[in-house]
A and B are shown apart, each in its own frame.
Chain A
Amino acid sequence: MNAPLKPDAFRVAAEIAPLAEPVIRFERVGKVFAGRRGQKPVTALEGIDLDVPRGAIVGVIGRSGAGKSTLIRLVNGLERASSGRILIEGDDVTDLTEAGWRTRRRSTGMIFQHFNLLSSRTVFDNVALPLEIDGTPKSEIAARVEKLLDLVGLADKRERYPAELSGGQKQRVGIARALATDPKVLLCDEATSALDPETTQSILALLKQVNRELGVTILLITHEIPVIKEICDRVAVIEGGRIVEEGETFEVFTRPQHPTTARFVETVTGVELPAHLAGRLRETPLAGGSAVLRVTFSGANATAPVISRLGSTIGIDVNILAGRIDAIAGKPFGSLLVSVPSEEPGLGAVLGALKGLELKAEVIGHVA
């Protein structure tokens, strides 16, 4: 039904235009919920600083209860900030009235984990809803909805009801609906969390297409690290209501600074030593044994035939124990565990050669 998700060519930093005014800017934003009867107020967010650059896909990842749902709802005024400032397209929206928010919401699309489609309306009428709310003339609505249904690949389902659709199709309707008023910003609230991995891929591909072809800036929240890996240019890691790490996805994934980030990214970048070797790992070299190295490839070097080159240039056999090569935000990244003879010149020569290739290599132990 859909083209498979292809890793894009490099996105250069200039394309994301970090110097241009961000579409959404959080400045020291906090949110405190009043406590229910007799209970203490709950701090959901604290000191949030975050920029969403124009045209970017920015992901916020965190466990449930980390505050990410609250964060995304601050962008369209479904929740109001308790402190700090929120700027959208340079306008301070922190103290906007409900009527002011209503106007703004019409230029911000939102999709949801459970789709939130009206069961009483057909696919066509669901997509038409935001246009009806906006007071668009009927004749224009029809043309616009047809176009959106084509975009999401559901033109043949226009007279169906949501109960007749699969989860992936429902989210496609959700996306078409969110784009109906031609918004500049699309908010995705756990949009793929209720979908199976294959359907998730196709929805992510569609979101990427929407981002690239329509120039829609996307802010998404998720607890699924593959979502970030696949489509986000930038990522913010949120924990306990605070952003603990933020940056370009590739940078954050390959050089995580915060333990929470490390735990998240390890599931996609980490490589484990096979169990039979892990148990025999020693700290000191053993006579006639091998050293185990972790070699990390990133960017351009990830695709170079490094291992075979080592064999041919320095004549040392490198044994691959485990490895993974993947694309993170469209850039290749790999991690290999290899073993080389501990005795000189083996280890030293390999380390020297890897250093020459500007690859990161670390000795993690020795085996007999």
Chain B
Amino acid sequence: MSPELIRLIIQATGDTLLMVAIAAGLGTLLGLPLGVFLATSKRGELFAAPAVNAILGTLVNATRSTPFIILVVAIIPFTRLIAGTSIGTTAATVPLTVAATPFIARLIEGAIREVDQGLVEAARSMGATPVQIVCKVLVPEALPAITLGLTLALVSLIGFSAMVGAVGGGGLGDLGIRYGYQRFMPEVMAAVVAVLIVLVQAVQSLGDRLARHLNKRLRHA
């Protein structure tokens, strides 16, 4: 493989990491509060707002049920509005974030719902406000599960990021399609696949280790 190609692969890997990092970061920033709200706003819950819960739930489901490649195309006007263009690495982070947010929200909702209701009752018995219950009980107690969820989201985002290559986004997917497929350079395709495998493995094992470290439930006397 020529140094030129190696440079391209490194460049593409950097682009992918950047897109995934931005989308995951923004997705978590938006998805965390959304997930917490979804987990605490049904009838009789901390921030009971069943109607809002139902609307947001539907919205989240709608976004999640749209295949990513369709979502990318469907929200091009929105992408242009935010990023000024619909082509390239920066533009690709917009649909990635839009896809990541509801995904992460559902993962966080699930993690929060797993927290023992007895802990919520204990916190209430101490006079905790709903916000204190979220910040001091629900999120810390759900953190190991949230970490695993975010790991899953990162792995999915790496996969999604390869797809934006098909519509002019940068990164490994774009490289694989243009060089590996269209110019028929199997060694580029192989390199792209290898880098993706390494990335996913690294993310998964880091996430697993972090979650294990955060989980204090598995310790024994």
User: Roughly how many angstroms separate A119 CA and B132 CA in the complex, as a whole number?
Assistant: 17
Q: How many A-B residue pairs have CB under 8 A?
A: 74
Closest to A101 in B: B127
CB distance from A86 to the nearest CB of B (A): 16
In chain A, positions 60-107 with a C-beta closer than 8 Å to chain B are 76, 78, 101-106
Contact A105 B137 (CB under 8 A): no
A47 CB to nearest chain B CB (Å): 26
Q: Mark A119-153, 1 if CB is under 8 A from B, else 0.
A: 11100000001101110000000000000000000
User: Does B118 make an interface contact (CB < 8 A)?
Assistant: yes
B141 interface contact, C-beta 8 A = yes
Beyond A110-B125, A120-B140, A164-B221, 16 extra complex contacts between A and B, CB < 8 Å? A78-B125, A102-B127, A102-B128, A102-B129, A105-B125, A106-B127, A112-B122, A116-B118, A117-B122, A118-B141, A120-B143, A120-B216, A133-B126, A133-B128, A163-B218, A163-B220
Name 16 interchain pairs, CB-CB below 8 A, sorted by A. Answer: A78-B125, A101-B127, A103-B127, A104-B127, A105-B124, A112-B121, A114-B118, A116-B122, A117-B122, A119-B141, A119-B217, A133-B128, A133-B129, A161-B219, A164-B219, A165-B221
Chain A residues within 8 Å of B127, by CB: 101-106, 130, 133-134
Q: Give the distance in Å from the alpha carbon of A116 to the alpha carbon of B217 in the complex.
A: 13
Q: A118-B140, A118-B141 are in contact. Are A161 and B216 (CB under 8 A)?
A: yes
Which partner residue on chain B sits nearest A157 by CB separation?
A: B221
B126-A119 in contact (CB<8A): no
Name the residue on B nearest A169 (C-beta). Answer: B221
CB of A269 closer than 8 Å to a CB of B: no
Contacts of A257 in B (CB 8 A): none
Please report A residues at the B interface, Cβ cutoff 8 Å: 76, 78, 101-106, 108-110, 112, 114, 116-121, 129-130, 132-134, 161-166, 177, 181, 187
Q: Which residue of B lies closest to A162 (CB)?
A: B216
B142 to chain A, nearest CB (A): 9
Which residue of chain A has its CB nearest to the CB of B122?
A116
B217: A residues at CB distance < 8 A: 119, 163
Q: In the complex, which of the residues A76, A120, A165, A166 contacts B125, with contact meaning CB atoms closer than 8 Å? A: A76
Q: Does B123 contact A (CB under 8 A)?
A: yes
With A105-B124, A112-B118, A129-B126 known as contacts, the answer to whether A120 contacts B219 (CB < 8 A) is: no
Residue of B nearest to A165 (CB): B221
Q: Which of B119, B220, B221 contacts A118 (CB 8 A)?
A: B119
Most buried by A among B127, B136, B216, B218: B127
